[in-house]
Structure 1
Amino acid sequence: MVTEIRGPVITGWSAVSPYGIGREAFMEGARSGRTTAVALDSEQWSGPDQQACLVPDFDIRGELGRKGTRSMDRVTGLAVTAVGRLLKDGGEPIGDGGDDRAALVLGTNTGSAQSMMALTHDTFVQDKPYLVDPAQFPNTVMNCASGQCAIWYGLKGPNATVAGGRSSGLLALNYARRLLAAGRARTVLCGAVEEYSSARSWLEW
């Protein structure tokens, strides 16, 4: 989180990572130097990988509840969880009515490759006239995660998704700095999100 106080100042941070959920889990894991790679369940993950670094026991409904999560995909769930932890763990308070000066900048590589491929697959295999699930369509848009974060936490300022490959997180941080310098926002929540999925695994392979 970056706040304009005589120049950008980081006032809080959190993480959802293979070390666990929240900054305490990340700090403990980083200090320990332990590996995060785990063997994959072939029934759940159909990609070519044998191991992956997953968020342990991550369950969208378990973290966020059932309301509003029926069609939420993994990358969106990770982002919404991370922003929620940031606000909970001492970040800038956002009022119940929202904050029109609080912005969100989220970096990503492609958004959810799994959602994009699943919807495309349905257009080929479902009955004509290609009966795809319309509730899944928002997940195929690259800015779905940032938009959902804004809706969940009442962030009414600028909302941006920055896609720049492996540099996306740094590019998002620079974008946040520019929003503050231009006076477009008082507070910027800034981060990056990627999901592990079978589709992403095949693309990397």
Structure 2
Amino acid sequence: MEKRRVVITGMGTVNPLGNTVSDSWAAVQAGTCGIGPITRYDTSSMKVKLAGEVKDLDIDALLGRREARKMDRFTQLALIAADEAMNASGLARELERPDRCGVIFSSGIGGFETVGDAHQRGCSRGWDSVSPFMIPMIISNMAAGHMAIRYGLRGMCSCVVTACAGGTNAIGDAFRHIRDGYAEVMLCGGAEAAVVPLAMGGFTAMKALCESTDPLRASIPFDAERSGFVMGEGAGALVLEEYEHARARGARICAEVVGYGANCDAHHITAPVPGGAGGAACMALALADAGLEPEAVDYINAHGTSTPLNDACETAAIHTVFKDHVQRLMVSSTKSMTGHLLGAAGAVEAIFTALALEEGFVPATIGYQVPDPACDLDIVPNQGRRSEIKIALSNSLGFGGHNAAIALKKWEG
């Protein structure tokens, strides 16, 4: 069967830079740092003081207090982003076949805030005293389930759990689901809300997080002084649609999804394989899936976490795939502005990548000061760049060796 074309017709996000797509993109263009001192809990006894928090979001007003209380924060953020994406798509759901519309939505660790709160309550009041909503609040698939219920989407409904690669895997899997004829519309993306003491303590113990107290020198991908990632929270949601279906209803198209690669290092539970062989193979898979040569790519939104191993290995992977074309390739990490959103990262970064194509603006890697010979790429340092790019990749590389990459194409009608 001929492969069908897949386009993006709606996007929504809540993240440390803004609570809508337009506000977030304006902050990206301005090179804003969304990282700051943690306000959600007392950090006085903890080593890590900074995070990328969602700011000034009235969740009760957007979702209703009664409903919001039955959801963990990651699901709340997911639904707010999904509402924006669905509204932006202009999809008239009453005219759709609900069994041909589905959801693939990721979360890396699900309802961690609820886990911590329930444990404290159980310890103090007894284990049978925990909320009857605890289990449906903590499980990672619940954001996807709420979306299907909220919008009446009765096709495939799934949750990808591949750590930091999850958001990109969700988009790629949704892309294939439509391309191969199983659906016309898929709502996809990822959400995370792990700025909570238990999660932050765990990541601190494994030496993954930056302990700087300077927001401008904390999440510094590709910089020689990088020392770990900064935790972020948020959600990104995208409506993917079969092209002829979108065209028939006169939908506004943001970008086209043209390729997807997914594989595994099969090497280590947290460290990438030396030399970035897995990431290189994953990008090559995405290009082959799209029928593109490496020279066609203008920009990569890198995984770029600001950890010593990731940034050097991802740089090596890019050199492996793009060879001499690296000299003409722009590569930046928007995690320098948002921090690392774990399972939501790939979704939010896909939105930024689609907007980069649509508006001809390549985001910067902000906070860059000290060059690292192991990261010898054009990382678009400190200031974004106007450039009419046509093809872009977005990379996500997760604990467990999970790698995912999607290829997006500028929509030119």
TM-score range relative to shorter protein:
0.7 to 0.9
Q: Are 1:123 and 1:130, in contact at CA under 8 Å, matched by a contact in 2?
A: yes
Q: Does 1:21 align with 2:46?
A: no
Which protein, 1 or 2, shows the higher relative CO under an 8 Å CA cutoff with sep ≥ 6?
1
TM-align CA RMSD:
2.3
| Matched residue type, 2:160 | V
Q: 1:152-178: per-residue Cα shift (whole Å, max 9, x none)?
A: 222222111001111111211221123
Equivalent pairs, count: 198
In structure 2, C-alpha distance between the alignment counterparts of 1:203 and 1:152, rounded to whole Å: 33
Structure 1 position 86, deviation (Å): 0.6
In structure 2, C-alpha distance between the alignment counterparts of 1:62 and 1:196, rounded to whole Å: 22
Q: 1:104-145: per-residue Cα shift (whole Å, max 9, x none)?
A: 111221112222233344333323x63211122211211111
Aligned to 1:73: 72
Q: Does 1:53 align with 2:52?
A: yes
| Matched residue type, 2:109 | T
Structure 1 position 189, deviation (Å): 1.0
TM-score (norm 2): 0.45
Aligned to 1:116: 115
| Matched residue type, 1:75 | F
In structure 1, C-alpha distance between the alignment counterparts of 2:86 and 2:148, rounded to whole Å: 12
Q: 1:72-128: per-residue Cα shift (whole Å, max 9, x none)?
A: 21100000000001112235332399823211111221112222233344333323x
Aligned to 2:163: 165
Q: Are 2:100 and 2:182, in contact at CA under 8 Å, matched by a contact in 1?
A: yes
- What secondary structure, in the 3-state scheme, does the structure 2 residue paired with 1:34 have? coil
| Matched residue type, 1:45 | Y
Aligned to 2:365: none
Structure 1 gap ranges (5+): none
- What secondary structure, in the 3-state scheme, does the structure 1 residue paired with 2:103 have? strand
- Higher mean displacement: 117-126 or 163-172: 117-126
Aligned to 2:5: 7
| Matched residue type, 1:118 | D
- What secondary structure, in the 3-state scheme, does the structure 2 residue paired with 1:13 have? strand
- What secondary structure, in the 3-state scheme, does the structure 2 residue paired with 1:162 have? coil
- What secondary structure, in the 3-state scheme, does the structure 1 residue paired with 2:199 have? helix
> 1:133–1:171: structure 2 CA closer, same or farther, 3 Å change rule?
same
**Alignment of structure 1 residues 189-200 onto 2, 5 Å:** 189-198=187-196, 199-200=198-199
Structure 1 position 200, deviation (Å): 2.2
In structure 1, C-alpha distance between the alignment counterparts of 2:30 and 2:140, rounded to whole Å: 34
Of 36, 50, 55, the residue aligned with 1:38 is: 36
| Matched residue type, 1:20 | G
| Matched residue type, 1:70 | R
Structure 1 position 181, deviation (Å): 3.4
- What secondary structure, in the 3-state scheme, does the structure 1 residue paired with 2:134 have? helix
Moved over 6 A (4+): none
> 1:105–1:201: structure 2 CA closer, same or farther, 3 Å change rule?
same
Q: Percent identical across equivalent pairs?
A: 26
Q: Are 1:63 and 1:81, in contact at CA under 8 Å, matched by a contact in 2?
A: yes
In structure 1, C-alpha distance between the alignment counterparts of 2:138 and 2:4, rounded to whole Å: 39
> 1:177–1:51: structure 2 CA closer, same or farther, 3 Å change rule?
same
Aligned to 2:232: none
